[in-house]
Amino acid sequence: MSKIPVSVCIIAKNEEKYIGECLKRLEPYGFEIVVTDTGSTDQTVGR
């Protein structure tokens, strides 16, 4: 049985407190992860 490719798309704004943990929990699965920031004024992009 072949693997089905999965992409995870996250739309974020001012999610500095949560984005790091979210990405960390997805990492072991090997998914393609696309994060779109919609104008955060905190450190969301820096995470």
Strand partners, 34: 9
pLDDT in tens, 13-39: 999 999 999 999 999 999 999 999 999
Quick check: pTM over 0.85?
A: no
Residue 31 lies in a domain: yes
Is the predicted pLDDT of residue 47 greater than 80, yes or no? no
Residue 19 lies in a domain: yes
Quote the number of domains for the chain.
1
Is the predicted pLDDT of residue 46 greater than 90, yes or no? no
Residue 43 lies in a domain: no
- Cα angle, residue 10 at apex, residues 22 and 15 outer, rounded to 5°: 60
CA 11 to chain centre: 8
Under DSSP, is residue 28 helix (H, G, I), strand (E, B) or coil? helix
Determine the structural domain holding residue 18 and report its residue range.
Answer: 7-37
